[in-house]
Amino acid sequence: MYRILTKKSLNPTVTMMEIEAPFVAAKAEPGQFIILRVNDEGERIPLTVAGYDRERGSVRIIFQIVGATTELLNLKEEGEYISDFVGPLGEPTRLDGLKRVCIVGGGVGCAIALPIAERLASLGCEVTSIIGFRSKDLLILEDEFKAASARLFTMTDDGSYGREGNVCVPLREMLEAGERFDEVITIGPLVMMKFVVEAVRPSGIPCTVSMNPIMIDGTGMCGGCRLTLIRDGKRVTEFACVSGPDFNGYEVDFDEAISRSAMYRDFERHAHEQTCNLYKKVGNDNG
């Protein structure tokens, strides 16, 4: 059993928890993920490591409430326990030797991007961060990005906070002005990452994408994280949770990944609604 040390709501649909898991904290690196189960009967879900404290023996996770399991997890409070918390899994983000990097995060993907920005800053890298959200109400982790970045651009689609527009706007402006980076690392919704890659492509700067959004069971056995890469004109299949989650963005067949990810949307929504209705009924019965 793994104790919830802290719990904080970052916005109406995103929650941060710190989990007591000393063996995971001892080995975790930016870019890796864990698999958890809320209870013994629950499903396994992968969540990316959003931070860790080796001395305290804790791991930070940040999750969006989209399905039944994340709804159940969000019902847990500080001091309570979850059944399983396994990891770290996946390949860490490769950061050695980078001196100037642009980090582009979108929505809850910023939770994955933050530990990468923090590690790069600790290594003496000059970090430029771009974070984007639909509106001010969905903003998360801005202060943390400010602390880890030499420059920070905060974007909202509706202009309710920061600058109006998507994350590609300041990225294109910098690249068109002749700025160079050793690498661009982008993490967020699949559509956002697709357009970031296309914005970077003319420059030839290496562009890494994190394919966490397509992971399901976290082991490669379910096949849900199957990913098509185009290498030397050939189509190659990889599994995001085994070979990734980081990949060369220029190789990813985003159209296929976006199409396949939509297959689970209705199922997740239905499962979420059922769970919410169940707990409302239990609450009413007890009240």
pLDDT at 59: 97
pLDDT at 62: 93
d(CA 224, CA 241): 10
Whether the pLDDT of residue 223 is over 80: the answer is: no
Cβ-Cβ contacts under 8 Å for 79 (sequence gap 6 or more)? 3, 4
More confident residue, 262 or 181: 181
Q: Name the band, by pLDDT with cuts 50, 70 and 90, for residue 231.
A: confident
pLDDT, tens only, 139-154: 999 999 999 999 999 9
pLDDT at 279: 45
pLDDT at 218: 55
More confident residue, 149 or 284: 149
Q: Name the band, by pLDDT with cuts 50, 70 and 90, for residue 213.
A: low
Q: Name the band, by pLDDT with cuts 50, 70 and 90, for residue 276.
A: very low
**CATH number among 3.30.2010.30, 2.40.30.10, 3.40.50.1100, 3.90.1150.10, domain 2-89:** 2.40.30.10
pLDDT at 264: 55
pLDDT at 66: 84
DSSP 11-25: ETTEEEEEEE-HHHH
SS3 letters across 24-71: HHHHCCCCCEEEEECCCCCCCEEEEEEEEECCCCEEEEEEECCCHHHH
Q: Name the band, by pLDDT with cuts 50, 70 and 90, for residue 238.
A: confident
**What average pLDDT does the chain have?**
87
Nearest to 210 by CA among 189, 224, 180, 231: 189
Q: Name the band, by pLDDT with cuts 50, 70 and 90, for residue 262.
A: low
pLDDT, tens only, 72-86: 999 999 999 999 999
Q: What mean pLDDT comes out for the span 124-133?
A: 97
Does domain 100-212 fall under CATH 3.40.50.80? My reply is yes
What is the β-pairing status of strands 14-20 and 163-164?
unpaired
pLDDT, tens only, 41-97: 888 888 889 999 999 999 999 999 888 888 999 999 999 999 999 989 888 999 989
Q: What mean pLDDT comes out for the span 14-25?
A: 96
More confident residue, 18 or 274: 18
Nearest to 79 by CA among 4, 1, 2, 9: 4
Cβ-Cβ contacts under 8 Å for 42 (sequence gap 6 or more)? 69, 72, 83
Whether the pLDDT of residue 226 is over 50: the answer is: yes
φ, ψ at 151 (rounded to 5°): -140, 145
Task: Break the chain into its structural domains and give their ranges.
Answer: 2-89, 100-212
